[in-house]
Each structure stands twice: as structure tokens, then as C-alpha cells.
A and B are shown apart, each in its own frame.
Chain A
């Protein structure tokens, strides 16, 4: 209906859009937009603009902003429009503000009140509009203002409202986890909602919650498995089917959650075996959405404690992905392979050629993914090939972001697996040379630490060899132009430290080189500083060794230049150098010991060497030192400051009427002042006791518990108060477990994998025929490291017992799982079984009252309960068109016939095959939509003609430059 009868905007606006469309260059477009902005600026401030006109201005502002120009002068008008009573204007206002404002914009405070009002509206469309705005606009600070109302809306009769309310709460959780911490039971309850849309939405917040703390949700494993099972058995309304797949998006979310819950938990994983096995059973790569679900299943298998059989199925699907012609599937296959080899490195072996093909593919995306895979499977036997490949690729690309990433990966691998010092130094040189300053500074510092420390073996000889090979290679490179600054720093440092260590090169040679470096980079102060310090070290070592030192003339001029430098740092270094030259050998040796960069410098923090001096002074009558904490005045001040801060933390922005004076609770106060005092009060440590005392005394007074509203303010940033955001303190209960839970198992897995990679090796199979020898060689060098020893697989009997065991467990907990596990015969029976409640949560919720009836079936209406299980494929396609008709049957608007008819273009590129399949049949529709006559399907020339006519009216004609504007996107 959108395009029927013209576009509904004024001529002026259409002209604007048209002129932008016809602009030949970005400059021309910018010019048009600028003049439009001037125009709008003038017109929007005129008094008494009719509302309709204003609405159009707002949409024009959106347009201007969309094209990348600043329309902030009009934001306030969009905000005003949200206040309007008419839904038409309100909707436009909300649309504009959600597009204009980021969550921390100052104007948001002006909308909060409107949102509060609209959330209470009788009209559910108003509520929906407000909730959409809530998701975008409400920030940590304003969450408390709308939270109670959003929670209330979870019980709204309209599904759409419930769904949006859940998503809003999910957003709140992302912004400030503590704000919704007390609402977790609501999410659990909504999981049992009768509407699949609401249930599906609930999976979003649950996913985040489970990612933060999987252990508290282990009881839901059975429920999730049961929901997934029912979804795959097509128990959801057909309208959730997507390209003949039952509710795939919900399936994917469920699989993601199961992956989290089964991670490192054998018992939870066992519940999932059957349903996951079923996912792999129908494995054809025909439709993209099926592949998406299959891929997610592989991810789930690789994350949980999986059985051999599941791993085999997953590997099978992965190999089909890799064999596919589609780049997308190859990409997913490589990714899946990377996950599976963590469990069993053997899997990669049969795909070596596929992997190499991907590595040489012209598609950069695929190439990078493959490098990621190689990175995961690197070990000492193949590190040289892999790192060389990576460096070659790194040299060939311009994308700085990725260059940084791949260079740090190279360096990491080189440090971990380097077969020889020589190779290590060379690799580092290459990386530094080509990645230049993109290399992380830490990496350079690491290298500077690694060279003196050596590789950890107690072999001084090898370390010395490393150093001298580094020095040699650096001396070779140092003359090259355009070396990155970071690399030069490393070079200077190493030359200074070890340049003369093995007496191969003379001091004057090295210092000469260093002077050249400093001269060649007159604008780089850091390099100059490194160079002059290196020179100082060389001379110091010479002096300490008792040799006579003469400053080279170029050195002298460098020192002279630097002592007059603008940089005080350089000046100081130059003066230090001169001072060192004037000292005798003994003194120099103690201030500049050779090869001592790794020695610990002991710092006497208590300044005990001054004790004698202090004693002397005391004896002479000096006053003893009083520590800051013991000085009474000071502690009062800090106490006072703590008080002030504490006040500001409780009095932020308020959105509710003043409440009755009541002593406030203690629990919320404690953490905030602690964290904040570190910033505010210089003497933090000693004042702690007093600060804690403060809230403690309050708590002893309070008799009533903390009010709920106040609790939620924890950790919320005070925009207009002091900037005392302290996220860690109040939310520790949420965020800390997340880190430990997430981090720990991963570490365990990685550790296990790397040890496997080293210890267990496998036979390299013979490469297949018809493969170029070059590729074979590469394959052999990449994968050939595995030899003879094959990991013993768990025996099949073992596997069977686990299966039986898992079935037994499920049986005891839930009747349907048992049905499924007794293979196909039982599957046929299942429709006759009493329909199962989706939500077997064992938690007294409203959903449980309908335990004996499948909630989705009640909803369905269109198809009787027997249809659901028996109709099969025909029903799937049939329901599709049934959907269309029933949809429009409910909103009969003129001109709709054309829309529906034209919906399915005849030439069905596989994108729309689902739709067009449905369209090509005249399907008898279910009882709900019988009043709709079967609609003639196929392309409707009349409709496109109308559209073209409208377009021409506006002045847009298909021409050589824009022939595609009229083409159906789906056609």
C-alpha cells in the first residue's frame, strides 16, 4: 500500500529527493543538501507551521541526516513532535529522535516524560512506538524512570507490546546489568509465553544472562532442549516457518544458549545429544537458512561436551560446507573446522587441499578466515610455512586494521614456536619492516625483553648466538631508508646493549651507525633518544673494559646538537653521555653494568639508608614525621569529602515524586564511596575505615529495608551530579562471575588443545591424485607434522552407554524426550500422544495452568491439531499463502489485490522460490480466511504500470543512468 496513489509528500520534497538522485557528483549532492539545510533552518522556525507541514520538515531532516549532514538544529522540533497527541505525528517524532539522538544526548531528558506517558497509553500502537524509542534512547541514567512501566507491560494483552518490552529490558541489561538484576524471574516466566514471538524474544536476554553466569540456569537445559525439539517438530504456528524451515531464527538462538549451557558440563550436554543428532540428520545444503542452523549446530557441538557420534556428524557437515562451490559455505566451513580441530585436530587432515584452495582464493574474506584457521593449528613443525604465508599476505594488503592483527599473530607464533634464533630474528625483522608502526608497541618492548632474557633455556651460548645474529641482521638493515620508528628503537636498543658484546664489531663502527640513524631521523625524538642512549652504553662498556675512548667527530656534533635541543629529554641524555665520558672505569661499571637489563633493580622503599641521617636530625631537636593518616585535620577533611560524595551519589536525577522521609538502606551505599574516594581524596588508603563507618552508621539506623527504586540506582552514572561512575563496585555480583565463568573453561580448552597438538601427531595421508605437486608440497608442510600416533577413540560401547544413559535421564524428567529417543516408530506415534507443554519449567507460572494443551496449537487457529503433524510439506507451502491472505483479509484496503498479486514475481531466483511456489498454487485456505477468494498470482503488469506512472508524475523516468531504480528487488 505504500506506493499506491503517489508518495504522499509535497512536490517540494519530491523534487529534493529527485535532484539528489540525479546529482552527478558528491559535490553536487552536498551543494543541494546544504541549500536544503539553509531552507529548512529558515522555515522550521517560522511561527504557526501546520503540523502536517512540520511532519514533512522532520522527515526532510531525517533525509538530510541520512545523507551524512548535520541536522542538529532541528532536533528540538523532532523532540517536540513526540509530545503531540496524534499518533501520526508522534510516530514521526519518535522515528526522527531515534535516528537523530545517541543514548547520551542532552535532549533525551526532554523525551523521558513523554515516553513515561505513552507507555501508559490505552492505544497499544502508541505503547509500541514508545517502546521502540525506549530501546534506543533510554540510557543508564534514565532507566529507573521507565523501568517500572516497562516491567508492567510484560503483562500486556498484546504480544507485540510484550515482545518489545522484553527487548527493552534486554537493552537495559546491556546498558546497566544491575538495573534489571532483580527481574530475572520475569524472563524465566516469559519463556513460557504462549506466543512464540514473545518466547523467541525472551531468548535474547536469557542468552546474555547465561553468558554471564551459566551455572544459575542449568535447570533450564531440559526446557530449552524440549522447546528446540518441539520447534524442529513443527509445533509452532506455520507463520513462523521461513523457507520451509520451522522457526529457524528461534532454533539458532536456542542452539546458542545450549552451547553456553553445555560448555564444560557433561551432564547438561548429555541432555542435548538427541536433539542435536536430529539437527544433523537432514543434512542437505539446499537452503541457506538450513545451513545457518547447521552451522549453529556445529558451533554448539564444538562448545559442549560432545559425543563421538555428534562430532562425526558435525565433521561430516563441515566437510560438505568445504566442498561446496559457494564461497559463503566455504567460509563457514573453515570457521567450523577451526572450532572442531580444538576437539580433535585429526579432522583437519582430510580437508588439507580444501584449506589450501581457500588460502589461495582471490576472495580476501575467505583468505583471512583461512589464516585464522592456520593460526589455530600452528605448531613447531609448520610454523615456518604458516608465518611466511602470513607475512606475504600482510605485505600485499593495505588494510591497516588487519595488518596490525596479522602482524601481532605472526609475532605471537614466532615467539611461541620459533625453530631457530636465526629464523626468529629474520621473521621479526620482516614483520617490523612491513607492518611498520602498526605493530603494537608492546610487541617491540617484548622483543627488547626477549633478546636479553633469551628463550628461557639455561644455555647462555644459544642466547648469545641469538643476540649476535640479531646485531648482525640489524647492522645489515640499518642503512635502509624508511624504516619504521618502532623498529629503529628496537635496533638502537639492541645495538647499544649487545653491539660490541662479542667484539666482532668495533665501538666506533657501531657508534657511527647509531649517529647515522639519529641524523637520518631529525624529527623523530624517540629514535634520537634511543640512539644517543645506545651510544652512551657503547662508550660506557668501552670505558669499563679499560679501553681508551675517543668521541667520533659526528658523535660530538650530535651530542652538541642534542644538548641544545628543545626536548629536555634529549638534552638530559646528551649531558649524561658527556658526564659518563668523564668518569673513571670503576664508576662507569657500576652505573652502566654490561648485559644487565634483566637484573632487578632493588628499590629501598622505606628509605632505610636515611635512618642515620634522620636519627641525627632528631637528636638535634627536629620534629618527628607524622604520617598523613594520623594528622587529625586531614582525616576530617577526607571524611567530609566522603560525606559530600556520598550525598551526591544518592541524589541523582529523580523521576518520581518525593517520597516520605525514610532512612535509607545500607547495602547500596557501601561500594560507591569506596571506589569514588580513590579519585577524589588523595589519601585514599588510610581514610577507608572512616568512609566505611559512614554508611555503616546509616545502616544501623535504618530499620526498614531499602526501597526497590533506590536499589536500582546502583552503578548508574550521574550525569548532572559528580562524574563518579563506579561500575565495578555495585555490579560485581554480575560482572565478575561472567569473567571467571567465561574465561576459565576457555583456558582449559586451549590448554588441552595445545598440549594435544604437541603430543599427539598423526599420519599424513597421501594427497589425492590430480593435485599439482606444488599444492601437495604445501599441504605436506602445513599438515604433515602429524605422525603415527593416533589418538584412541572412545569405543563404541562406551558411546552407546552414554546414549542410553542420556535417554534414561531424559525419560525420568520428561516424557517426550523418551518418545523421541525410541527412534522413528515412536516419532510416528508422537502426534497421538497428549500434546506436550512447551514450557516444562517446573516453576509455578501462569503458563503451567495450560499444561495439558499445547499453547501454540491454541494460538494457531488456522490449522487443526491433526494437521500440524500430518500435513507435512504441502501444508508448509500452503500456509504461506494462507498467511498472506489472512493478513490482508484483516486489513482490507483498496488496491491491496494488486499488491498481493504482484508480490511474487514469476522468474523465481531461488531467493523467492518459497514465495513463488506458494504463489503458483491456488490453495484452499483455512477456515479463518475462507472469505478471501483465491487470488490470482503472478506478476501484475498493471501494478508496475501504476507505479511507473506515479514515478513519471514526480519526474523520475527510467533512463540509461538509472535503469535499476524500477527493478524489483526480489525479481
Chain B
């Protein structure tokens, strides 16, 4: 996989993960172009399209589009299920994927790193991925010292 983009129905980019080296300018250009292309497609159309020399696999969940760019010989259907598995993982962690829009964006990245690395599937077992994330949460809670709400909201 070359990259993965998550964006809202209104075209707002929520998550971007690049597995090939590209300049910021190129990334922005690709993002703009793809968001436009994908949003223009109608609901019943097929989930794959040829774009430049890549294949784009995308799927929509509620108001969020998940869009992956894979190479010519890669398997489209299994990529579609990569997206689904990632959505399931996010669901487990957040309760509902829509919240990704707002908070915990960093966590979405951590989960992705546990699931996909360097553009390839690392761990397909939901349990194992969640275990890794929970472990991190556990470590985090131990480390966390309680803080007053005022300090939190105060002049931070």
C-alpha cells in the first residue's frame, strides 16, 4: 500500500498515512485530487478506480471516507477488508468511528501502526492489536498523576 487517507464527506482530511517518500507539496496535491475524485463518485459505483498508475480502493462509513492507494498487482478485495478491519479496531477503541473526527486523532495513528506497518498488514488478529493498545493504555494510566480540572482547562 502506498498511502491511506481518511476524510470527511465535506472533504476535510482526518488522517493521512504515507508509506512512500513524497514531498509535502505532492502529498497535498494528491490529497486534493483524490478527495475530489472520490467524493464525486456515486454510492452504487464500484469501490475501485484506476488513478495515475495506482489503484484506489475506498469505502465510506457514515460520513467518513477511507481511501487506500495500492499498486497494480495488489489485491483490491483484501484491501477493502483492511479498511473494514481498521474500522472495527477504531470502533472497539472509541465506541464509534465518528468520534475520530474530533478527538483522539493520535490514537487512531497508534492503532494503525499496530495493524499496518510500512504499508503491509502486520497483525490481522483483532485481539492482538487491541491487546497492544490496551497495554499502552494501562501503562498510561499508571503513569498518569491526577490533575485538577482547573489546571487542565486553565491557561493551557
Chains A and B come from one and the same complex: no
